[in-house]
């Protein structure tokens, strides 16, 4: 049995990586297979995710496009598709469009005749064919006359005025917390989530130290009667879990694991949604274990994006 404190990590190093590298890094958290990452593993990994429709993984890569249309009709045609999973700002016939790989894939699947959709996905498919190879329409996917598409680099996104920055700038955070906290975090929308899977992770294996890891409860101090009772309960639970693994699968044995179990969760959202999360999860009414990680994370975001995040009152 191992007991560790809760923590978080802002995954800003991923912002400079390719979409494939970024998606693989996040996707492997589910099976805790990060040890399989090497210089050649990203494209085979994301190709498999796309082929099998593992859409939650494909949400972990976002791109911003500058789209110039030749007439208003093309713009109207796009908005008639009701693109719920894209962030779009419009200046006449020029569009600033941000979306995940999943969002652009599904736009192509559900609206293949929309000219702006075809133009955007043709541009992306040329740069990243492994995301689109299995869903390209029978008539092919080529650039659309009269519509130009270009990627907006991250440096340019960071220079947007505050409210556009809030909509178009996405950032991922990895939380190492207990399952009670993640049960609350995943209720937020719109966000993307990937979480360590108790269904597939076998904590009785050597890669996990042949033990279950728990998050230290902020409610009880070490040495108190209450902490001793909690510790006893976790030890007994671990013993039951490891015993069940002798004859059961991890997905069966996990039914005895408690909320105190350590888990890893990646949350990916734009700054507008992070602002909403912090408003709810740092308030005095929020669950104390949630405040334990969200208050310092909110302070971190204030330093990173001062124009978007006002200091807490």
Residue with tokens 């713009």: 75
List the one residue out of 20, 23, 55, 14 whose CA is nearest residue 40.
Answer: 20
**Among all chains, which residue has been given the structure tokens 């297979």?**
33
Active site residues: 281
- 164 C-beta neighbours (distance < 10 Å), count: 15
DSSP 8-state symbol, 136: -
**Rounded CA separation 53/109 (Å):** 12
Q: How far apart are CA 102 and CA 47, in angstroms?
A: 13
DSSP conformation letters of 100-127 = EHHHHHHHHHH-TT-HHHHHHHHHHHHH
Can you read off the two tokens belonging to residue 271?
């700054």
β-bridge pairing 2-4 and 213-215: parallel
Give the span between the Cα atoms of 178 and 174, in whole angstroms. Answer: 13
**Residue 30 tokens, joined:** 């589910």
Is residue 260 within 8 Å of residue 214, measured between CB atoms?
A: yes
- In the numeric block, the tokens 């009701």 are attached to 82
């Amino acid at each position: 049995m191992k007991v560790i404190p809760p923590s978080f990590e802002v995954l800003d190093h991923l912002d400079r990586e390719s979409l494939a590298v970024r998606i693989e890094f996040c996707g492997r958290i589910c099976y805790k297979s990060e040890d399989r990452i090497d210089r050649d593993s990203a494209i085979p990994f994301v190709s498999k995710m796309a082929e099998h429709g593992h859409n939650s993984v494909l949400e972990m890569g976002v791109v911003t496009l500058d789209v110039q249309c030749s007439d208003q009709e093309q713009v109207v045609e796009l908005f008639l598709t009701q693109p719920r999973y894209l962030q779009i700002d419009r200046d006449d016939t020029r569009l600033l469009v941000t979306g995940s790989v999943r969002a652009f894939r599904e736009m192509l699947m559900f609206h293949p005749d929309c000219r702006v959709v075809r133009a955007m996905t043709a541009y992306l498919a040329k740069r990243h064919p492994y995301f689109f190879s299995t869903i390209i329409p029978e008539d092919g996917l080529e650039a659309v006359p009269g519509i130009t598409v270009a990627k907006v680099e991250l440096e340019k996104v960071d220079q947007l005025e505050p409210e556009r920055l809030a909509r178009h700038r996405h950032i991922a955070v990895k939380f190492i917390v207990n399952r009670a906290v993640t049960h609350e975090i995943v209720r937020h929308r719109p966000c993307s989530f990937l979480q360590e899977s108790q269904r597939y992770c076998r904590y009785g294996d050597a890669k996990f130290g042949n033990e279950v890891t728990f998050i230290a409860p902020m409610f009880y101090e070490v040495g108190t009667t209450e902490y001793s009772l909690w510790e006893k309960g976790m030890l007994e639970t671990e013993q039951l879990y490891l015993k069940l693994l002798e004859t059961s699968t991890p997905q069966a044995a996990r039914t005895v694991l408690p909320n105190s179990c350590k888990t890893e969760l990646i949350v990916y959202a734009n700054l507008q949604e992070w602002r909403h999360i912090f408003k709810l999860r740092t308030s005095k009414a929020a669950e104390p274990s949630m405040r334990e990680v969200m208050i310092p994370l909110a302070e971190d975001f204030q330093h990173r994006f001062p124009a978007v995040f006002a200091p807490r009152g």
